[in-house]
């Protein structure tokens, strides 16, 4: 199955890249991909998933700094 086409035009992508850091831009791309694929997304469910993912990344980062 082919990935969905990007929802943003090149001009929007350039503008967003100029104003967002890499992490913010990737998060936005992921959110747009979710909207393209699922069409109906409950923000509360999305927030819970992102929060859990952030916690995992944070604990991994703290673990790598333990040495």
Euclidean distance between CA atoms 52 and 57, whole angstroms = 9
What pLDDT shows up at residue 41?
Answer: 65
What pLDDT shows up at residue 46?
Answer: 73
What pLDDT shows up at residue 17?
Answer: 92
pLDDT along the chain (67 residues), means of 10: 65 91 89 77 75 74 62
Q: How far is CA 65 from CA 26, 57, 58, 59, 60, in A?
A: 24, 12, 11, 10, 9
DSSP string, the chain: -PPPPPSS-HHHHHHHHHHS-HHHHHHHHHHHHHHHHHS---HHHHHHHHHHHHHHHHHHHHHHT--
Q: Is the pTM of this model over 0.75?
A: no
């Amino acid at each position: 199955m082919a990935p969905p086409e990007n929802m943003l035009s090149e001009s929007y992508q350039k503008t967003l890249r100029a104003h967002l850091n890499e992490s913010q831009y990737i998060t936005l791309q992921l959110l747009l991909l979710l909207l393209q694929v699922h069409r109906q997304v409950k923000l509360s469910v999305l927030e819970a998933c992102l929060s859990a993912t952030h916690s995992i990344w944070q604990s991994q980062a703290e673990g790598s700094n333990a040495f």
